[in-house]
Chain A
């Protein structure tokens, strides 16, 4: 029991002080009936070697890791510099908790302040929070925020081209929220939100529109155009970005007129890890700061004039406002937000611009190569970042063949978009070299 410092001897001494005979006696207030049925029927504990051996055995059966992969669909392979994980393993960071005592948590608090700054910069908005669970729940919380801010309006217009899982999470979050209504707006032949349909749907009942960009097909939406239409009708514009690396090359949501922007931060220094933990990025315009969900860190000053950082505007949150809180979120994704902060500090301004360009070039080259053989065609004409959609005959069979050749070539769309069952998305990043792209084209041909 290497995790337990107490010994038989120290236990006996403590029992004496507490005034009981045996350890069992400290539970005398627990009803006997419950005590008698509480035994945990699990095998005996394992030493470290055996524990890790079991885990290694499980890990080895995840054969996708050995394959050449072009999977995207909301999670992306990017290179993470070694320094990120090394710094993340500082126990002072990972074993700390919520910085309620700011005087001894300045490391965590300053890092979050830097994170908030970077997120606001990336999304092109005024203020960002200390993180949400993931892009999907961030989108749901953004929708709830729009409903809160636009008090008399109950309707949300959501793009059907937004990641299906984001739409599912939104639906779950809205169950039981009185009056809230979601209507979907479709996409047109270019792969973007159908503007005419959107304009027809917008009226004074609409609190906001929610649009994915890049969307599930990899297509970059015309946020400037969409937000213009929304604004004419007094609706807020919310964008959700599943591939946050796109923010390195694409005009920021804030710059395009978004009022609230969320993103999944996994692409920025976070391992895939079968989809979690990731981190939800959340930013908005200044005027909405008091309606923001999640924790906020602000600058402060101590009695001697020293600059420091504190959790602030806490009265929005559950531990004070309880049932009238802006959200129920407590624990968020603190350490992952730190990973993003360290990653962005290393990659920096120039590195981001370079990565943006690299991803664009690799993906565009890949689409060209894949479509060169004639078996596949580009499905959508609109601009894309590092993920694109191709159409061909019998997508499932093609993916199967590719898999047999050791390549996970992409994600078939038919499961969520029946009219696109002849199509699949492919994600290409800076992790893919020329030979990888050639291999992709080869196995798909």
Chain B
């Protein structure tokens, strides 16, 4: 899968910020479809969706404009710093005759090294730094970005926040500063190399304040690093009579400007670029962000509807409801429990003299009861049934068969109402109504305590 471009990642982050602030993802089925079409993992789909949202072209153009401006700014810094380095080196070299090695070193290397050390020291403290130069630069660059973005609305502000957030702004600033100092050091080293190659300079290690012994010590200290690269320094070259070995010292000067100026900055730049690259990769990559995670169901669905594979038959023609006959539960009443427990006793009802047929469940007991009802003289029939039972077609058919076999007033007696009521009032009312309709269709009375 090709790497996602920075502008696209920024766009996806920008969209997430907007959607999280709104509280819900923007509904745009075309964009969702584009994300699904893109395939790949969720991160790739999120980016593709962001690109397909309405208005994204303009936003992407704005992001590209800002990124271009950032690159131009960085380039400008590098060029100016490079020229400054060359100018500083040549003026330090020409400042006095003979040219002072400590002065050249001071100009070419020391500020560079000092600011680098300061930067290193402040890294762990960056969160609790008082607002200083960095914050001022930050504010200036934000103002600059705002001017390029051409507006101070909330949407643009959220883009600028995206740009400066998550280490992106911090490592971009670090990389630009390091690149500028690197350009300064390279410019200085090149200028030194050029001038020392084409002009004759007298070189000296002289100072006003330090005596010879101290100067020698300093020269030896500064020679340690170049010596690591095999460049001869104060150990072998004369310090007090430096001009006598000016070829050796000029080579040493070049090496020192590279070792103390170019190398550390190159390392710091590499580290900052790596961190910047990591911050860029982290954009639109943290799927535990709620704004991204919410898109999972839309862009990487875990199920898909297959629709109807076998359509419903035409709705049954409702049977004309017969007038519900009155419940007859007096005197001699045949009774049975439909789908009740085996050996279930008859309910106790005042004034009822039960002919109890027991519990009826399977096909055999059903056939036996129908047979008995047809043979007996039945004055009235009561069918006890649990109200929690779902009144289905099978029950309806059997109740109708029982009523017609009995040829007598039949009553459906609902019990277990407490259990039904425990499922909620709405469920209770619904189920009672379903039973009533079933009773009506079968032409039997219904009674529930």
The yes or no verdict on A and B being binding partners is no
